[in-house]
Amino acid sequence: MNNPASMQDMVKHAFANMRGRLTPQAPLGPRTWFRVGGAAEWLFQPADAEDLAGVLQRLSPELPITALGACSNVIIRDGGLEGVVVRMARGFADITVEADGIIAGCACLDATVAEHAAQAGLSGLEFLAGIPGSIGGAVRMNAGAYGSDIANVLDWAEIITRDGSLIRLDNAALRFGYRRSGLPEGAFVIRARLRGIPANPQDVANRIAEVRAARELSQPVRARTGGSTFRNPDAETSSRKAWELIDAAGCRGLRCGDAQVSEKHCNFLINLGNATAADLEGLGEDVRTRVAQNSGVSLHWEIKRLGKTEASSQ
């Protein structure tokens, strides 16, 4: 927005009757798994779906708006985010267990949903234990691991569109693809129903333990990191996975400042302590360049990179 006074008026109008919390210039770095990034011009944490819908109905289409969840698969750039950042919290964390599935709020952690499924004796959702992040983000990007993904288990998702309308979309309407969905532009996932298959609770718990052990063995889960940095190429482009291409290009352990390509799993970037968002993104682009030069394959980012660089925020 070019006119700060106009921005203030728009925000004042849109949030006049909110029940949630609105914070100006809210630091986002501490909320992200990488622990990097600038501030949100405005951070809105709605009380519930009705609160969010009401604000969206009053919010000018001119005002930029960004949805953030657990911030596990995102790099917030050092210049922060303009406009309003919406972050779901307690009002979106309910879990309802049914005979053949689970209805989970968008703020529920994927691993928590897997645990509830195990307690209820529902199989088919164990893969969620290996995915960092929350259900809202998992639906948006069709998150997957260990042989399954959201597209395989989702019955429906409820969303709130940019104009504040509440809509339920079934699996087909979401047009899932590899690490993507067909959610309408600017839509917010509110909750989703995930199918489960009745099973012995101990068998489900054992499978979750196997998933967690495999993740601990192969990924830098105790470091400041996100999920997989790059999507795996499609089969027509390359038969090798992203990590194999990165390794073959000599990038394992590569550094830019305090940003490093993990030596444990080279499709993960790590903040060794004092990396900036620019360090992480620059390292990722360096990896992409080296892979392209070595194999001719162009890797595509899986991690979302949002906001302004520090230079552009001056």
Which residues belong to the active site? 179, 228, 302
Backbone CA torsion sign across 194, 155, 167, 184: positive
Helix (H, G, I), strand (E, B) or coil at 199: coil
Tally of CA atoms within 13 A in the half-sphere of 295 that contains its CB: 23
Cα(283)–Cα(287) distance, rounded to whole angstroms? 6
- Are the CB atoms for 281 and 259 separated by under 8 Å? no
Q: Which residues pair with 200 in a beta bridge?
A: none
Q: Which two tokens stand for residue 134?
A: 């929350």
**Selection from 120, 75, 115 nearest residue 98 by Cα:** 120
The residue whose two tokens read 């302004």 is 308
Rounded distance, CA 140 to CA 314, Å? 32
Q: Residue 112: which residues within 8 A CB-CB, separation 6 or more?
A: 95
Of 134, 130, 151, the closest CA to residue 142 belongs to 151
Contacting residues for 251 by C-beta, under 8 A, at least 6 apart: 261, 266, 286, 287, 290, 291
- Return phi, psi of residue 109, to 5°: -70, 140
Partners of 24 in the β-ladder: 42
C-beta separation of 211 from 111 below 8 A = no
CA dihedral angle for residue 2, residue 38, residue 266, residue 204, rounded to 10 degrees:
-100
